[in-house]
Chain A
Amino acid sequence: AQSVTQLDSHVSVSEGTPVLLRCNYSSSYSPSLFWYVQHPNKGLQLLLKYTSAATLVKGINGFEAEFKKSETSFHLTKPSAHMSDAAEYFCVVRKRIGFSGGYNKLIFGAGTRLAVHP
């Protein structure tokens, strides 16, 4: 079965320091993985996606994630945090439903709330 586990519910960093948001996945086949961000009172925005091409995926706003099959991880990183990065981040795996491949849904992790301090 497909699932994701976000290892930290809250992460706090100082502005200008690196960000690491951890995610482990479980999948019975080669997964499609995503990171989404949700700013307060906003919808969800796609940061980046992994779809079995390059294992290091670059996203928007300087974020990137590395797919590590041996560790079943897909951690999100950014070299230098900005105040505007404060938000909730969701690690997501795509789950196929049914036999024909036309049925999909996204399974969301519980989320990691990132706080950035001056």
Chain B
Amino acid sequence: DSGVTQTPKHLITATGQRVTLRCSPRSGDLSVYWYQQSLDQGLQFLIQYYNGEERAKGNILERFSAQQFPDLHSELNLSSLELGDSALYFCASSRNSQGPYEQYFGPGTRLTVT
């Protein structure tokens, strides 16, 4: 158990809908990262937050947004969902955003768009 929690575990929704994925980092970790894992794209970095502020953006679509709250939990919002958004979404956390750090991953949320 990495100490990173994600809810829900599974999510099934229809095209055009909007969903929110939630992540709680390990105790004491200030950085939260979101990743998307799909069969065709592999593991792709989406976005990073550090202590409430956006720090880095990866291959995140404009339909997707995220935020990190004062209690350090984070939410990833996916809107106008398309079939191609079906994937496993991981959240990870690390102590800070610098140095030779490692990231600890949550169990993921499997999103299925029908």
Interface on A for B, CB 8 Å cutoff? 32, 34, 36, 42-46, 49, 51-52, 90, 94, 97-98, 101-108, 110-111
Contacts and interface: CB of A to CB of B under 8 A. Distances in A.
Contact of B42 (A46, A105, A110): A110
Given A43-B2, A43-B107, A43-B108, A104 B56 contact: yes
Interface of B: 2, 4, 33, 42-43, 45, 48, 50, 55-56, 58, 90, 92, 97-98, 100-108
B45 A106 contact: yes
Contacts of A104: 48, 56, 97-98, 101
A44 B105 CA distance: 6
A94 B100 contact: yes
A42 B107 contact: yes
Contact of B90 (A43, A51, A98): A43
B102 A105 contact: no
A6 to B, nearest CB: 10
B47 to A, nearest CB: 9
A2 to B, nearest CB: 12
B54 to A, nearest CB: 10
